[in-house]
Amino acid sequence: MSKKVRLRFAPSPTGGLHLGGVRTVLYNYLFARQHKGDFVLRIEDTDQSRYVSGAEEYILDCLAWCGLIPDESPFHPGAYGPYRQSERKAKSIYAEYAQQLIDQGHAYYAFDTTEELENMRTQYKSAENPSPQYNHTLRTRMRNSLSLPAAEVKALLDAGTPYVVRIKVMPKEEIHFTDLIRGEVRFSTDGVDDKVLLKADGMPTYHLAVVVDDHLMEITHAFRGEEWLPSAPVHILLWRHLFGEDKMPRWAHLPLILKPDGNGKLSKRDGDRLGFPVFAMNWTDPATGQINKGFREMGFLPEAFLNMLAMLGWNDGSGQELFTLDELIEKFSLDRVHKGGAKFDFEKAKWFNQEWIKRLPVSAYQDQVIGFFRAAGIDPLGNAGTTGTTNASPATALDTVAELSEIAPGITGPASIPTYDETPAPSQQEEKFQQILTLVKDRCHLLTEFVQQASFFFRAPNAADTDLSPVKPKWNDAKQLFFVEWIRQLQLIRTWDAPTLEKEFKEMAAAAEIKPGDLLLPLRLMLVGGKFGPGVFDIITVLGPEESIARIKAVLAQLQS
RNA sequence: GCCGCGUUGGUCAAUCGGUUAAGACGCCUCCCUUUCACGGAGGAAUGAGGGGUUCGAUUCCCCUACGCGGUACCA
């Protein structure tokens, strides 16, 4: 008996896809999936002046990145097409219903020009009424089919005079409906103006289009932002006149996402101002060429992005904060959606991302991370791997025994460095890459941070640029000697793993009567080029003997001078 | 102005008449770690104001204040 649940997301293709838009999609999607229903994408391109080419594809790309794929859309039409309102207009769908309303006496032609409307607004503007409305009191004084003699209306129409169709709202009527989030909401028609239904160019306004299309597409539940609540009475009236109020979808007006500081809706501007993205993915304005950062490019995981968005206005009451999409589908409920808006907190957003980075296997996001490495000029799977120093500084060039003795007089070195496979198979490289990601994932909030945290694995630090001030003042011959000795040791170690390396290191330090702590920081600086990164012995394990030795030697030369 | 919606720590928030008013982010202290993190243990910090209803209000009702949204031939 009950109809199949169908929901829609109906954006205008006017630019980037905003955070709030994605959350609206998400709630639509969750509800649809939970009820084994359909989720459709309808493009509301009724304002050709605001149409931005590429925006439709962009929106679909964003949904794809998030994994919120519509069952029906302009790109994958179902049985309710077309899915673009411009195309539906071309089929005279809206004009037909506008005509029906006129015939019923619920709508009328209005011939007022833009100038006439402006004049009306300035004329009737007052302190008590700053924005006069085209309504039951004023319409008698305007040029429309209600105020003009029938013959004149006919003449105007026959002459092809531009007109719009307006809804005729009767005063003193009570309109109420049950919002799935807010409960009973009541309006008086006294405050509702005669909204334009059909524009002069024949396009419907949102008001007409949304009810006609929701009806034709058999939409059962309509979720949209709270900013639509004030125009709900118009939509209800239209449903009443056209299809019957009992056929109307259930409405849910979602709370707004607010800017972090102050109040008000979060806007693109706020993101620019405060340094965080507002769009799901990078959006390049085709007119200005301006690029707006997206969460994806900022280093967010789609799982984290959605999880964060879901929690902005909803929770399951248990205190749980981390949810997979499937868990959200299972647990989401409208009656636990907040009524009040929520301020967006970028720090918390990053926390969600960090949690998901820790939670997911690195294989789930390694491709995205590879992209960030390549953008930084590093190919983590290429030849510039751990088998050599790519941007060798002058110091790293000294690697002969002679040079060794030069920086450490008294040491006679043997040293045939153990050889090993110079060009690992691709799978080995990938394996090594994953090993590195696993090593640093705990300290990354954003995927982009993998580059900062791990690039030294693929590119030797520039020895000349390494800040040695933390160790240089306390440097002495004993330490110099120790490291030269340590290099020899590295060449001999057979079991190449972190525990063995650490054990050997500490034994040598003890023998040299130097506290390991005094040696660890220098060693880190040699390998990493800074005071960050995973444990030094883990680093050496991954770097391998040749590369480790090269880096130590390079800095040793620096410290000696 | 009018109409509508909202208001628990700095932020996200639990509570559906009785609690020492959860938890999380952020912040602070300590532990772990001779890097940075992660992790662990603590800490500071909350019911806009006023009336009711009730034995008892954060919770229900009203008023006020404040905030937001709308008030287009934009969505």
From first to last of its 561 residues, what are the pLDDT tens digits of chain A? 468 999 999 999 999 999 999 999 999 999 999 999 999 999 999 999 999 999 999 999 999 999 999 999 999 999 998 999 999 999 999 999 999 999 999 999 999 999 999 999 999 999 889 999 999 999 999 999 999 999 999 999 999 999 999 999 999 999 999 999 999 999 999 999 999 999 999 999 999 999 999 999 999 999 999 999 999 999 999 999 999 999 999 999 999 999 998 788 999 999 999 999 999 999 999 999 999 999 999 999 999 999 999 999 999 999 999 999 999 999 999 999 999 999 999 999 999 999 999 999 999 999 999 999 999 999 998 754 444 443 333 333 333 333 443 444 333 333 333 344 445 455 788 999 999 999 999 999 999 999 999 999 999 988 777 888 888 888 888 999 999 999 999 998 888 899 999 999 999 999 999 989 889 999 999 999 999 999 999 999 999 999 999 999 989 888 876
For chain A, domain boundaries: 6-87+256-357, 92-254, 362-560
Residue nearest to nucleotide B6 (CA to C1'): A340
What is the pLDDT at residue A170?
95
Measure A308 CA to B24 C1' (Å).
12
Measure A453 CA to B41 C1' (Å).
28
Measure A262 CA to B48 C1' (Å).
16
Closest-lying nucleotide for A207 based on CA to C1'? B75
Residue nearest to nucleotide B69 (CA to C1'): A227
Interatomic CA distance for residues A453 and A433, integer angstroms: 13
CB A309 within 8 A of CB A29: no
Closest-lying nucleotide for A349 based on CA to C1'? B25
Measure A297 CA to B2 C1' (Å).
44
Residue nearest to nucleotide B73 (CA to C1'): A199
Residue nearest to nucleotide B39 (CA to C1'): A442
Measure A510 CA to B74 C1' (Å).
76
Predicted ipTM of the assembly: 0.95
Helix/strand/coil for A184: strand
Measure A524 CA to B55 C1' (Å).
70
CB A208 within 8 A of CB A243: no
Nucleotides of B under 7 A from a protein CB: 1-8, 10-15, 22-26, 34-38, 67-75
What is the pLDDT at residue A427?
78
Closest-lying nucleotide for A445 based on CA to C1'? B37
Backbone angles phi, psi at A225, to 5 degrees: -70, 155
Measure A537 CA to B35 C1' (Å).
12
Measure A313 CA to B8 C1' (Å).
15
CB atoms within 10 A of CB A126: 8
Closest-lying nucleotide for A162 based on CA to C1'? B73
What is the pLDDT at residue A420?
41
Closest-lying nucleotide for A316 based on CA to C1'? B14
Measure A250 CA to B62 C1' (Å).
30
Name the one residue in this structure whose structure tokens are 């900062």.
Answer: A452
Interatomic CA distance for residues A58 and A64, integer angstroms: 10
Q: Which two tokens stand for residue A372?
A: 């960030």
Measure A230 CA to B51 C1' (Å).
31
Closest-lying nucleotide for A260 based on CA to C1'? B11
Interatomic CA distance for residues A333 and A312, integer angstroms: 14
Closest-lying nucleotide for A453 based on CA to C1'? B36
Residue nearest to nucleotide B35 (CA to C1'): A531
Closest-lying nucleotide for A313 based on CA to C1'? B12
Interatomic CA distance for residues A235 and A211, integer angstroms: 6
Residue nearest to nucleotide B71 (CA to C1'): A131
What is the pLDDT at residue A285?
93
Measure A478 CA to B10 C1' (Å).
52
CB atoms within 10 A of CB A116: 13
Is A6-87+256-357's fold the same as A92-254's? no
Measure A192 CA to B11 C1' (Å).
37
Residue nearest to nucleotide B38 (CA to C1'): A442
CB atoms within 10 A of CB A95: 16
Closest-lying nucleotide for A226 based on CA to C1'? B69
Closest-lying nucleotide for A233 based on CA to C1'? B4
What is the pLDDT at residue A403?
41
Name the one residue in this structure whose structure tokens are 């790309």.
Answer: A61
Residue nearest to nucleotide B15 (CA to C1'): A317
Q: Which of A74, A15, A25 is nearest to A47 (CA)?
A: A15
Q: Which two tokens stand for residue A397?
A: 């060039």
The CA–CA distances, whole Å, from A211 to A44, A93, A134, A277 equal 12, 12, 21, 33
Measure A385 CA to B32 C1' (Å).
33
Interatomic CA distance for residues A111 and A153, integer angstroms: 9
Measure A212 CA to B2 C1' (Å).
29
What is the pLDDT at residue A426?
55
CB atoms within 10 A of CB A14: 13
Measure A317 CA to B12 C1' (Å).
13
CB atoms within 10 A of CB A401: 13
Closest-lying nucleotide for A133 based on CA to C1'? B71
Interatomic CA distance for residues A58 and A18, integer angstroms: 12
What is the pLDDT at residue A383?
52
Measure A484 CA to B45 C1' (Å).
55
Q: What is the CATH number of domain A6-87+256-357?
A: 3.40.50.620
Closest-lying nucleotide for A311 based on CA to C1'? B12
- Chain mean position to CA A205: 29
Q: Dihedral angle at the C-alpha atoms of A435, A441, A443, A446, nearest 10 degrees?
A: 130
Q: What is the CATH number of domain A92-254?
A: 3.90.800.10
